[in-house]
Structure 1
Amino acid sequence: MGSSLSTDARLTNTPGLQVREEKEGGKKKWYYYVWDTLDKPKEERWFMFKLDAALLTFASLGYFIKYLDQSNINSAFVSGMKEDLGLWHNQLNYMQTCWTVGYVIGELPSNIILTRFRPSVWIPTMEVTWSVLTFALSRAKTAKTIYILRFFIGLAESTFYPGMQYIIGSWYRKEELAKRSCIFHTSAAIATMFSGYLMAGVYKLGGRGGLAGWQWLFIVDGVISLPIALAGYFVLPDVPEISRPFYLTEEEVKFAQKRMELEGRQRRQPYTKSKVRNILTSWHIYALTLLYIFFNNGGAGSQPVFQQFLKASKHPEYSVYEINTYPTITNAVQVVSTLAYAWTSDSVLKGARWPPIVLGGAVNIMCYVSLAIWDIPIKWKWACFALSGMGGGLSGLCMAWAHEICTYDNEERAIVIASMNEMAYVIQAWLPLIVWQQVEAPEYRKGFITVSFLSASLIVTALTIRVLFAREKVKQARRSWPEDEAVEVHDGPSGTSVEGLEVEVGK
């Protein structure tokens, strides 16, 4: 055999720092599997520590408040808002849909803006906007007022998740990416848990200041959100080519740029007709968008199904505290499984994203088919509600996969990330009105059957992308090597992994 596709370790130097490209199959120290920076040189560890401390902390806290302010409507609804405002029909569905419509409208334009404008200004400004609007929800007296406020909250929040995924993908390398994306994503589950605990605690404030407990929830949410939003102006590092945060030196910024060059991650480029045509004619945007549609809608996470099951129970009856806290078991399962997926994908599976996606989809099918039957043992029903959290932790893996597939075109990467999230929420804007109707709670048979089929579609799409991406890598390898060298693709211990397949180049 001739030379392998994986190159020997080589150094690209900046003063005082070195960017090392290792052999793909190189042996790692045991502590690499604990945290990937522990086996890096001292200077790079310090750089990564500062980057993680700023970017990852802000991303996680920002997503925490976004999801807190997004999901608080469900906690408020089951904690007195329904009765106080007379929401006896499908008003909750309409509130969720208004938020989704605003979210969908804003995502793609926002990510395009991020390729031309400073994220450290745009994203915090939108965070401040939705924090102020969350305060305003506490004074809403009618469902119509809530519809309007929820639309504009969704519009402001649309900047954050796809925008921060784009920024994370602009700073981290393949072996670092899934862990950071998934840590970022776990903030959503933690926020949903916290919203339940917060509502259980804030409910006791009901009557103070003439406000009900659910109104105090929106006020407290706003108080938590606003300082985090303002911090974004100071700690968000933009993207490497325009970065100038106070905590990174000029040398470290150049170092970050070199890291991305070795990763093949491209810098900002102008939008041209050929660029737009290439984006729209590639399989990337369509396959990855379908993958995220099936993930995002292949579960009941956007609906308070566990809470409504508990609220409808008569033997025994559950208190408001229990209705808000017991469902956090699902979120705890999501947090643990999300982190397990990330560490396994980055380290043990050497960057393969599809196995955890297939596992999460399979668990979803098991849980939701059982819930569709409904007449099952009560302990198994509780287990299904809890284990369904394993299907909710795949977002970071999907996004990491998209960064890697679209690594050679910055604008494509931004647009694909936004398209994935946007089209997922386009479906979410109308699907609940059909299959998650409030009047059918808690036995959402249509919803449980629908998400079972969507989870099966997620598995099929993930396996298809695996094949398409492997073929694309082989074509790239062929273009990179002399004509007299052959390219072989096989499963085996040697060679360089291409999402689970092996690629070798030899004479």
Structure 2
Amino acid sequence: MAVDSDYKRAASHSLSPTRSSASGEEERVVHLVKEQPKPSWKSYLWDTFNKSPEERRFLFKLDAVLLTFASLGYFIKYLDQININNAFVSGMKEDLGLFGNELNYMQTCWTVGYVLGEIPSNILLTRVRPSIWIPSCEVTWAVLTILLAKCTTTTQIYVLRFFIGLAESTFYPGMQYIIGSWYRKDELAKRSCIFHASSALGTMFSGYLMAAVYKLNGRNGFHGWQWLFIVDTVISLPIAIAGFFLIPDVPEITRAWYFSPQEVALARKRMELEGRANRAPYTKAKFKKIFSSWHLYLLTALYVFFNNGNGALGQPAMQLWLKSKGYSVTDINTFPTITSAITVVTTLMYAWSSDTIFRGARWPPIIFSGTVLIVVYSSLAVWDIPDGWKWACFFLAGVGGGISGLTFAWAHEICAHDNEERALVTGSMNEMAYVFQAWLPLLIWQQVEAPVYRKGYITMVFVAAAMIATALLIRHLQRRDAARGTRASDEALTREIEGA
């Protein structure tokens, strides 16, 4: 509790009219922030319609820069992450003689690198500027991606995939941490989900790109799948470099060139009203508090179930089924993009409904997603079903891919009063999800069992059920803690009145 008090004193100190360097005009802007925006019909369309003109202008700038860069960055991350699947089904398997479980090992090497980097990276982000660390890692993975085009052995691919995963580990949890440092509760789910939806766009574009560059097969001595890695880097590198100039860090240390001093003061006041703590040193007491709370364990479990409960999206399940049915390379790469399109649409539906219809509740879309996945994967586990329903199940699997942003928004709100806990929890959520992803596919998504994958589909049913149960438990504990906090505040107020 002492640490939380320090946060509040530090926040009030930085914004105090007597101690702050902000001018009178800055103070005037700060006081334009509403404690809690009153809902109106316009806010159901987009939350900035419910703000003051000054706050609306600030959010327009923030969205235009931070949200655009985050989405582009995640787009290229997924483009460079998923390309191995598209390359594999587009000639790499035959050219390199990959007829065992080599694809599983390539995915695992990437996952191991990703796992090792996440928590250290998020801890580092609380000590250094994100605008330096994140773009540096983006440039690294973009350069390593083009080297995949020159690989002639599986060992070379395994090594490169490990280091690509290590470099990519900084981006998603890091950008979720930054987004959670700038937006208020009524804004957060939409931004987190829009950011996450760009991964589905990356998956879609990789399929279209593979279908297009396959026409370059044999050009300048490169196969079509090699051209995919080359073009990916050409797309990724400029976006990575732009991060050095566009990432605004976090409000307390921002030096973003596109914000005025008044807007920086506005940003800090907004986070103060949300109870979002500033950065503070790591101490023994802080670590004890973090590791003794349910926040770390249940929020991490929720994301583990989400991330590993969408196995058909992480594996070329539909592609390999289409290949077994004799479809062309173009069809194999383009039909599965419909699943990604469904993920984009449902992601936005989850975000808007959570922020508006459910008034900030994050659990209802999670329950809906899990229920649909139980139906989808139960059907695929049977496998001997009409082809029409099989197509529908592969497409509807995309319904489960859109709740990542909601889980992170929920974590930002639950851990709002401790910046370091928020960074550690969001890093742990993503890292532990990929710890399971490092070994689970080797057991249940074995390449030699494609395209049936019965073990994988049955496992997904139980994982979806576990996700639903975990979400309901988090909802119960969050409400219990809120009630306890209210009682403690009332008791403190009663003691103060009696003492007076």
- With normalisation by structure 2, the TM-score equals 0.92
User: Hey, what does 1:234 align to over in structure 2?
Assistant: 245
The answer to whether the 8 A contact 2:30-2:265 is kept is no
2:285 is paired with a residue whose SS is: helix
Residues 296/19 of structure 1: CA separation in 2 closer, same or farther (3 Å cut): farther
In the TM superposition, what is the alpha-carbon distance from 1:14 to its structure 2 partner?
2.3
In the TM superposition, what is the alpha-carbon distance from 1:412 to its structure 2 partner?
0.1
2:33 is paired with a residue whose SS is: strand
In the TM superposition, what is the alpha-carbon distance from 1:102 to its structure 2 partner?
0.1
The answer to whether the 8 A contact 1:19-1:259 is kept is no
Pair 1:75-2:75 in alignment: no
User: Hey, what does 1:65 align to over in structure 2?
Assistant: 76
Pair 1:354-2:366 in alignment: no
User: Hey, what does 2:165 align to over in structure 1?
Assistant: 154
CA RMSD of aligned residues (A): 1.3
User: Hey, what does 1:100 align to over in structure 2?
Assistant: 111
Residues 75-112 of structure 1: per-residue CA shift (max 9 Å, x gap): 00000000000000000000000000000000000000
Q: 2:474 aligns with which of 465, 481, 489?
A: 465
Pair 1:14-2:27 in alignment: yes
CA–CA separation in structure 2 for the residues paired with 1:32 and 1:71: 36
| Number of aligned residue pairs | 470
Pair 1:308-2:320 in alignment: yes
The residue identity in structure 2 corresponding to 1:322 is D
User: Hey, what does 1:328 align to over in structure 2?
Assistant: 337
CA–CA separation in structure 2 for the residues paired with 1:112 and 1:345: 29
CA–CA separation in structure 2 for the residues paired with 1:426 and 1:259: 35
The residue identity in structure 2 corresponding to 1:311 is K
The residue identity in structure 2 corresponding to 1:308 is L
The residue identity in structure 1 corresponding to 2:390 is K
CA–CA separation in structure 2 for the residues paired with 1:97 and 1:60: 25
User: Hey, what does 1:405 align to over in structure 2?
Assistant: 414
Equivalence map 1:127-142=2 (5 Å): 127-142=138-153
CA–CA separation in structure 1 for the residues paired with 2:182 and 2:242: 20
Equivalence map 1:241-256=2 (5 Å): 241-256=252-267
Q: 1:169 aligns with which of 166, 173, 180?
A: 180
1:117 is paired with a residue whose SS is: coil
The answer to whether the 8 A contact 1:333-1:387 is kept is yes
In the TM superposition, what is the alpha-carbon distance from 1:20 to its structure 2 partner?
3.2
In the TM superposition, what is the alpha-carbon distance from 1:17 to its structure 2 partner?
4.3
The answer to whether the 8 A contact 1:93-1:433 is kept is yes
User: Hey, what does 2:12 align to over in structure 1?
Assistant: none
Pair 1:272-2:312 in alignment: no
CA–CA separation in structure 2 for the residues paired with 1:29 and 1:292: 32
Equivalence map 1:203-222=2 (5 Å): 203-222=214-233
Pair 1:223-2:244 in alignment: no
In the TM superposition, what is the alpha-carbon distance from 1:214 to its structure 2 partner?
0.2
The residue identity in structure 1 corresponding to 2:150 is R
In the TM superposition, what is the alpha-carbon distance from 1:484 to its structure 2 partner?
8.4
Give structure 2 stretches of 5+ with no counterpart. Answer: 1-15, 17-25, 495-500
The residue identity in structure 2 corresponding to 1:304 is P
Residues 139-177 of structure 1: per-residue CA shift (max 9 Å, x gap): 011111000000000000000000000000000000000
The answer to whether the 8 A contact 1:66-1:157 is kept is yes
The answer to whether the 8 A contact 2:33-2:269 is kept is no
In the TM superposition, what is the alpha-carbon distance from 1:16 to its structure 2 partner?
3.1
CA–CA separation in structure 2 for the residues paired with 1:103 and 1:273: 27
In the TM superposition, what is the alpha-carbon distance from 1:402 to its structure 2 partner?
0.2
CA–CA separation in structure 2 for the residues paired with 1:251 and 1:382: 53
In the TM superposition, what is the alpha-carbon distance from 1:250 to its structure 2 partner?
1.4
User: Hey, what does 2:64 align to over in structure 1?
Assistant: 53
Q: Identify the structure with the greater strand proportion.
A: 1
Moved over 6 A (4+): none
2:150 is paired with a residue whose SS is: coil
The answer to whether the 8 A contact 1:19-1:258 is kept is no
In the TM superposition, what is the alpha-carbon distance from 1:41 to its structure 2 partner?
1.1
In the TM superposition, what is the alpha-carbon distance from 1:277 to its structure 2 partner?
0.5
The residue identity in structure 1 corresponding to 2:318 is F
The answer to whether the 8 A contact 1:17-1:44 is kept is no
2:50 is paired with a residue whose SS is: coil
Pair 1:414-2:423 in alignment: yes
Q: Identify the structure with the greater helix proportion.
A: 2
1:481 is paired with a residue whose SS is: helix
1:16 is paired with a residue whose SS is: helix
The answer to whether the 8 A contact 1:17-1:43 is kept is no
User: What percentage of residue pairs aligned between the two structures are identical?
Assistant: 66
1:14 is paired with a residue whose SS is: helix
